[in-house]
Structures are given as structure tokens and as C-alpha cells.
Amino acid sequence: MPEEMFDLRLYVAGQTPKAVRAFANLRKICDEHLAGRYSIEVIDLLEDPMLGRGDQILAVPTLVRRLPAPIKKIIGDLSNTERVLVGLDLRPRLKGARG
């Protein structure tokens, strides 16, 4: 896999337990799988509701992979590492799928 930069955004609405959990889970996954090639921007919709429009954010927390393209969204507290990796295209989508 090429060493691309991951530009990530985590949308939350206030410092809720789910938001805190999501951020912790995300940091852990990134440090393990994307060490040195990721950036995380946390956006609190309570501070600027307009920022959620562009990315069509309804659910929180939502993680948006802005780069590499295409855009991917993962909603939830990111507690299932396998699914987050699949969502970020760091794991093949189907079990046993090649490549």
C-alpha cells in the first residue's frame, strides 16, 4: 500500500462520552496503522453548525476521510476496529477477498 497522507475529520456535537470514546479509538487506530501519515481535525458542530453541511453530517460522531479520495464516512464511536479499517480502505471489504 502506498504511503498516502490521511486527512481525517471527526465531527462531534459537544464533549459527549461517545465523542470522547470515538476520538480515543481513532487515535489508537491511527497510531497503530497510519503512524506518521495522518492528521485529525476535530469539528464540534455546536460551535459552528454550518461546518456540518458540506460533509452532510447527520450522525455524530462521524469520521470523514477527506484524503485519500474518494471521501469515506464512518459513523459511530469507532469501537469496532476492524470495521473502521475497512471503512478507511485499510482492509479489504469482504472476508477472503483478494488484493
Partner 1 sequence: MSIGNGEDHSIKKVPTGIAGLDEITDGGLPFGRPTLVCGGPGSGKTLLGTSFLVNGIVRYDEPAVLMSFEENAAELTQDVASLGFNLGKLIDDKKLVVDYVHIDRSEIEETGEYDLEGLFVRLEHSINLVGARRIVLDTIESLFSGLADQSILRAELRRLFRWLRDRNLTVVVTGEKGESTLTRYGLEEYITDVVIQLDHRVLDQISTRRLRIVKYRGSPHGTNEYPFLIDDSGLSVLPVTSLTLRHEAASDRVSTGLPKLDQMLGGEGYYRGSTVLITGTAGTGKTTLAAHFADAAARRGERCLYFLFEESPSQMLRNMRAAGIDLAPAVDAGLLTFHADRPSRYGLETHLVMMHRAVQECRPTVVIVDPMTNLLTIGTQLDVRAMLTRMVDYLKMKGITALFTSLTAGVDLQTTDAMISSLMDTWIFTALEERERRLRRFIYVLKSRGMPHSDEMREFRITGNGLDIGALEVAGNRGRRHARRDV
Q: How far is the CB of 44 from partner 1 (least distance, A)?
A: 10
Neighbouring C-beta atoms of residue 42, cutoff 10 Å: 14
Q: Which is nearer to partner 1, 36 or 95 (CB)?
A: 95
**Which residues make up the interface to partner 1 (CB under 8 A)?**
11, 13-14, 16, 18, 21-22, 25, 45-46, 49-50, 52-53, 56-62, 70-80, 83-84, 86-87
Q: How far is the CB of 2 from partner 1 (least distance, A)?
A: 21
- Single-letter amino acid, residue 13: A
Contact 25, 88 (CB under 8 A): no
Q: Which is nearer to partner 1, 54 or 96 (CB)?
A: 54
Interior/surface letters 83-92, b for 16+ CB within 10 angstroms, e for the rest:
ebbbbbeebe
